[in-house]
Homo-oligomer: A and B are copies of this chain.
């Protein structure tokens, strides 16, 4: 390949236009005609590439999420310790989201709360992404770095829930502040949640 801009094929052009329009105006507020005009195609031409509007929507983040999954192991490679891995996981994920707010909007606002989400390709990849957390918790539990009785699935719910909440807030305010704002404090709380309960003399209520 020459180092120039890639000449995009029609399918990619449609996806690019739809991603932008859906993210900026919302799914319902974007018409097929809008997308057709943006790509200099007729409405009918879009149906050569996608079964319909909904199919187009769920296809958009396919590539992004599968690239995320591929990148994850690479990013975590060589990091020692469960807390360090957890920290890296969160920071990496937030950076990817900050870099691709349009894809993030489609996943977090339109897809994740969609009743068909669980039947999508994206769902499988997101699940794999989250399962890495369970691995990290297992490691922390076994190494003694984390509470030996830690329930890995409850822990995952805490991390995923907290991250989702922060991301959705940020997206709904139109990225009007840095996504990382307050993340250190939040991470400290999460870390406390997973630490071993200190020995001897115990705690009171």
Which residues from chain A sit less than 8 Å from chain B, CB to CB? 26, 28, 81, 83, 108-110, 112-113, 115, 117-118, 145, 147, 150-151, 153-155, 157-158, 160-166, 168, 172, 182, 185-186, 188-190, 192-195, 197-205
- Apart from the given pairs A109-B113, A112-B168, A192-B192, 4 other A-B contacts in the complex at a CB distance below 8 Å: A113-B168, A150-B189, A151-B185, A164-B165
Which residues from B are CB-within-8-Å of A145?
Answer: 205
A26–B164 alpha-carbon span in the complex (Å): 22
26 A/B residue pairs, CB under 8 Å, sorted by A: A28-B28, A83-B205, A109-B113, A109-B115, A115-B172, A147-B192, A151-B182, A151-B189, A157-B162, A157-B166, A157-B182, A157-B186, A158-B162, A158-B186, A158-B190, A161-B161, A161-B166, A190-B193, A192-B194, A193-B193, A195-B203, A198-B203, A200-B202, A201-B203, A201-B204, A203-B204
Which residues from B are CB-within-8-Å of A199?
Answer: 202
A166's closest neighbor in chain B, by CB?
Answer: B157
Which residues from B are CB-within-8-Å of A118?
Answer: 172
Distance in angstroms from A181 CB to nearest chain B CB is: 10
Which of A113, A118, A204 has the most CB atoms of chain B within a 10 A radius of its CB? A113
Which residues from B are CB-within-8-Å of A117?
Answer: 172
Which of A83, A150, A162, A202 has the most CB atoms of chain B within a 10 A radius of its CB? A162
A58–B153 alpha-carbon span in the complex (Å): 34
Distance in angstroms from A7 CB to nearest chain B CB is: 34
Which residues from B are CB-within-8-Å of A109?
Answer: 113, 115
Inter-chain contact A192/B195, CB cutoff 8 Å:
yes
Inter-chain contact A157/B165, CB cutoff 8 Å:
yes
A190's closest neighbor in chain B, by CB?
Answer: B193
A27–B195 alpha-carbon span in the complex (Å): 43
A198 in complex: contacting residue of B147, B190, B202, B205, CB < 8 Å: B202
